[in-house]
Amino acid sequence: MSQQPTPQSVLAGLEVHKGLEAKQQPHWTDPEAVVEATAELAKQPPLVFAGEVDQLRDRLAAAAHGKAFLLQGGDCAETFAGATADQIRNRVKTVLQMAVVLTYGASMPVIKLGRMAGQFAKPRSNDTETRGDVTLPAYRGDIVNGYDFTPESRSADPRRMVKGYHTAASTLNLIRAFTQGGFADLRQVHEWNKGFVSNPANQRYESLAAEIDRALQFMTAIGADFSEMKRTEFFVSHEALLLDYERPMTRIDSRTGLPYNTSAHFVWIGERTRDLDGAHVDLLSRVRNPIGVKLGPTVDGDTALRLIDKLDPEREPGRLTFITRMGADKIRDALPPLLERVRDSGATPLWVTDPMHGNGITTPNGYKTRRFEDVMNELKGFFEAHREVGTYPGGIHVELTGDDVTECLGGSENIDEATLATRYESLCDPRLNHMQSLELAFQVAEELTSASR
């Protein structure tokens, strides 16, 4: 009889990548505390179950073949303080509202995937931050250090990884409660959307909302089983950046004997850590989860094909998602040749657009922001590129919050540079607020409906 490997032997198996270059890791100052924290993490129960992870892979396979659409969204950087019932509820609510609109627009199932319950670690362009004549380590996300600009707060503290685990667990628990316990009832979500379009600023979306209304009335009339529509599938994801966290959360599934990252259903590799010979690509090449890779405007076809060979050698449907983040001014030139090259190789990864990270600007008054119109422009470029090449535009990846923050410019509320200061809360990149997120969903739905007519 074969013996089940213990978590320890699993970890040993995953030490392989340790000799490889690991970019964007914190400089821990207390090695013993790192050993303690990772040992503590290795003892904690998994946050997700391998069966759910497999189910998400199947759903993503459908999206890669044009039979489903992915909506991935949430904070740029979740914070421990932000893991409150209200904020989690508002984000889940926003994603559910967007999903209903997109489902109607795409006439296909929408896979809901939060950038939630573990999106705590951030890559930074500089290792340090200087204010006046003081230089301190950069903020790398709550799972590494604090945002306050003091030496104590900015020092990397491994115990934060354990807190990150518990915060992810309580966030995921509430997500599961909301999405299984009746909060996600389709009729209720639609009522929220009716509230959104009743605002005079959003009048242009009224006719689409009215169409959805008629569809729901039709379903009621024919006696559709609404008890089934009280719950919904909702998956979670984050950037697998902090290796000292991801490694102990990677375990062998007792059912299949295969390694899974049990900290999220889906994990992705960022634009800054996707080196073919780097530790991040190596670690994720070994897990069974569906995984993503961000691709910026400078990526070439060869690199994309090598990433496919390394991360998805079996060309398994749903395994690999390419999340392109080119910038509104580059996508129409950069994306089509990439799509062609990958298509011609016979590979069918899921193609998703992140219209946020290529469109960052800094205002003269010092705010990191993005223009809603640039985000929409990149989205349109994404659909155009796929139409041109004959590949499937499989989903969107956005940074959003359910709160009424003022971090991105524009939208129907016309947030301008002066307004940014009123409620700018992000510790990292600017997020679409509740209204802007819904507007984006309505506009993408319009795009999808016109494509299918």
Q: Which two tokens stand for residue 32?
A: 């013993």
Residue with tokens 């410019």: 409
Q: Is 271 in the site for ligand PEP (CB under 6 A)?
A: yes
**361 SS3 class:** strand
**How far is the C-alpha of 413 from the C-alpha of 409, rounded, in Å?**
9
Q: Which of the ranges 13-21, 267-275, 336-344, 419-427 carries the binding residues for ligand PEP, by CB under 6 A?
A: 267-275
| Residue 246 interface partner, choices ligand PEP, Co ion, none, CB cut-off 5-8 Å depending on type | none
Q: Is 357 in the site for ligand PEP (CB under 6 A)?
A: yes
**How far is the C-alpha of 344 from the C-alpha of 317, rounded, in Å?**
17
Select 270 or 317, whichever has its Cβ closest to ligand PEP.
270
Q: Is 76 in the site for Co ion (CB under 5 A)?
A: yes
User: Minimal distance in Å, beta carbon 122 to Co ion?
Assistant: 7
Helix (H) or strand (E) holding 396, with range, is strand 395-399
Q: For the window 173-212, what string marks contact with Co ion as x by the rule CB under 5 A?
A: ----------------------------------------
Q: What are phi and psi of 127, to 5 degrees?
A: -70, -25
Q: For the window 47-76, what string marks contact with ligand PEP as x by the rule CB under 6 A?
A: -----------------------------x
Q: Is 429 in the site for Co ion (CB under 5 A)?
A: yes
User: Minimal distance in Å, beta carbon 321 to ligand PEP?
Assistant: 13
| Residue 270 interface partner, choices Co ion, ligand PEP, none, CB cut-off 5-8 Å depending on type | ligand PEP
Site for ligand PEP in 273-332 (CB under 6 A): 294, 325
Asked if residues 111 and 59 have their Cβ atoms less than 8 Å apart, the reply is yes
Nearest residue to 70 via CA among 246, 237, 192: 237
Site for ligand PEP in 227-266 (CB under 6 A): 239
Asked if residues 48 and 236 have their Cβ atoms less than 8 Å apart, the reply is yes
- The contacts of residue 160 (CB under 8 Å, 6+ apart) are 142, 143, 144, 145
**How far is the C-alpha of 251 from the C-alpha of 247, rounded, in Å?**
8
Q: Is 407 in the site for Co ion (CB under 5 A)?
A: no
**How far is the C-alpha of 372 from the C-alpha of 96, rounded, in Å?**
21
User: Minimal distance in Å, beta carbon 427 to ligand PEP?
Assistant: 12
Select 62 or 283, whichever has its Cβ closest to ligand PEP.
283
Asked whether the CA dihedral 234, 240, 242, 244 is positive or negative, the reply is positive
Helix (H) or strand (E) holding 375, with range, is helix 372-389
Which residues, in sequence order, are bridge partners of residue 291? 267, 320
> What one-letter code names the amino acid at 348?
T
Contact with ligand PEP (CB under 6 A): which of 270, 292, 336, 393? 270
Select 429 or 447, whichever has its Cβ closest to Co ion.
429
Select 75 or 447, whichever has its Cβ closest to ligand PEP.
75
User: Minimal distance in Å, beta carbon 78 to ligand PEP?
Assistant: 11
Which residues bind to Co ion, rule: CB under 5 A? 76, 429
Chain residues binding ligand PEP by CB under 6 A are 76, 123, 239, 270-272, 294, 325, 357, 429
